[in-house]
Amino acid sequence: MNAFAVQGNTTTIAHLTGDQLNAQRFPFPERVVQDKLVAMLDERNEQRLAFTDAIDRQLALLAERRQTLITAAVTGQIDVTTARGVST
């Protein structure tokens, strides 16, 4: 709509005064629609946090199991040659 293209060119940003900004009208959804959107975004954020927590727990468990496996291999509790399917 070029509402703010009063001066400047393609390589500079035009100076925008407070008076120019106050004179502009911006369309906003009705309050009920805004509230629904906020509720939806909050719900999605809660889901994201739950997924992130689940992934973090899984990564910690995998790291613990990896370390346990390495320890078992180093201390001789498991025979790594048979674990790999290699016969001696």
Q: What is the predicted pLDDT for the residue at 78?
A: 85
Q: Which residue has the higher pLDDT, 77 or 14?
A: 77
pLDDT greater than 70 at residue 3: no
Q: Quick check: 20 and 6 in contact, CB under 8 A? A: yes
Gap between the Cα atoms of 47 and 53, Å rounded = 10
pLDDT score of 18: 83
Mean pLDDT of 20-33: 88
Alpha helices in the chain (DSSP H): 18-22, 31-74, 80-83
End-to-end C-alpha distance for the chain, whole angstroms:
77
Residue 6: pLDDT above 80? no
